[in-house]
Amino acid sequence: MRGHLNEQRYLIALGSNVRHGRFGPPRRVLVAALDALADRGLTVEAASRVTDTAPLGPSRRRYANAAAVLSTSLAPEALFAQLQAIETSFGRRRGQAWGPRVLDLDIVLWSGGAFVGERLIVPHPEFRCRTFVLAPAAAIVPAWPDPVTRLTVRQLRARLTRPRLTRAKPLP
């Protein structure tokens, strides 16, 4: 259904740090999640490699992270509902922020620009400061611009990863 007039493109962040009884370790959970997206009629245009990253917040388990570009005729809130249904089908339980999770699917960017709804904000409010989102995203859509800052995914990643100069203290 590519080229459909109502087609939207979305950048999705995927994460897991809990083994799944059927799919196995977090890396395999993300592969299964990509299949689940396609099974729901969403077109996976591109997907990054899965990377292992340090946890954010109180969790001690390392995460598997990836990014994917989806195309669909769904509006942002309808896609958000689909993503939450997939998370639930994988055993995701809502609760502690940054806690362990079988599957986390977040809408990062949308081809329609910015969106603010009751339960969803696009661009994702925290994506600009998360290397574990920007690194896989830069591998598949480096030129996608953030509608708020107008910087590309590549530029946002470079801002996070480039070495910072420190000011030397004057000698006595």
**Per-residue pLDDT reduced to its tens digit, 20-41:** 989 999 999 999 999 999 999 8
Query: Is residue 1 over pLDDT 70?
Result: no
pLDDT average, residue stretch 96-113: 84
101 is catalytic: yes
Q: Of 19, 27, 93, 101, which residue is the catalytic one?
A: 101
106 is catalytic: yes
Helix (H, G, I), strand (E, B) or coil at 110: strand
39 is catalytic: no
pTM (two decimals): 0.86
Q: How far apart are CA 87 and CA 73, in angstroms?
A: 20
Q: How many helices (H) and strands (E) does the chain have?
A: 4, 7
Q: Of 92, 128, 130, 157, which residue is the catalytic one?
A: 92
Q: Of 28, 39, 52, 104, which residue is the catalytic one?
A: 104
Q: Of 106, 130, 146, 157, which residue is the catalytic one?
A: 106
CATH number of 8-158: 3.30.70.560
Per-residue confidence at 50, pLDDT binned at 50, 70, 90?
Answer: very high
